[in-house]
Copies of this chain bind each other. A is one copy, B any other.
Amino acid sequence: MSAFPPEVEVAIARTREEVSQLHAELVRNGLVVWTGGNISGRVPGADAFVIKPSGVSYDDLSPENMIVCDLDGVIVANTPGSEREPSSDTAAHAYVYRNMPDVGGVVHTHSPYATAWAARGEAIPCVITAMADEFGGEIPVGPFAIIGDDSIGHGIVDTLTGHRSRAVLMQNHGPFTIGHSPRDAVKAAVMVEDAARTVQLARAGGQTIAIPQDAIDALFHRYQNDYGQDAQRSMA
């Protein structure tokens, strides 16, 4: 079971470290309270991902208590942390990794503004250039689905497949984001809350101005190709 080849063991150790540390960004950006929210990361070169344990305080997370699961969401036996329960959203993460091979990281939060849009079942319209840059248009809503089977994962994959957005607002629930790496998915979780907040504030004060579609396209294209120190790659 845990008899991974040595190079996979190294990849698992790196992913544990990365996923554990990234949780601090959820706290720093005000996206989570108490033990809510979770991050996972695909292990490069293996049919496995690393995810947060369930109901553990953010202060107590460490690389060692992250949990390794296979792509069915089953804990890999005899690995550090395997005696614990993984995040209650593990099935949804697993479904995404099984069905979206380019996804390297998944994040879920109940960040307040994004969850407010989710409670209305309302997509966030693209009225700020930062949304055009990051999400290429509106941030869509996924179906109402409750924990217990594949329905959350199904809703995420159905909504985001072929969509520019790396974020989906699951109705009455909250945002799930994907990325080519765990860090990229965390960035999307930060940016979806920022967009949800800014657009709600904008609309609360009066009529917003739409951005023309060709400008949205130009902004998205430029940002995906020219921003930052390396070429960025869109998930879409």
Contact = CB atoms under 8 A, between A and B. Distances in A.
Residue picked from A201, A219, A226, most chain B C-beta under 10 Å? A201
A116 B204 CA distance: 9
Interface string A187-217: 1001100100111111111111101000100
B120 A205 contact: yes
Counting every copy of the chain, the complex holds 4
Nearest to A32: B194
29 contacts: A33-B191, A34-B190, A54-B228, A54-B229, A55-B227, A55-B229, A56-B229, A88-B222, A88-B223, A110-B128, A110-B194, A112-B194, A115-B128, A116-B198, A116-B199, A116-B201, A117-B205, A119-B202, A119-B209, A120-B205, A120-B209, A121-B209, A127-B172, A128-B172, A129-B173, A130-B174, A146-B218, A147-B222, A200-B205
Interface of A: 29, 33-36, 53-56, 84-85, 88, 110, 112-113, 115-122, 127-130, 144, 146-148, 171-174, 187, 190-191, 194, 197-209, 211, 215, 218-219, 222-223, 226-229
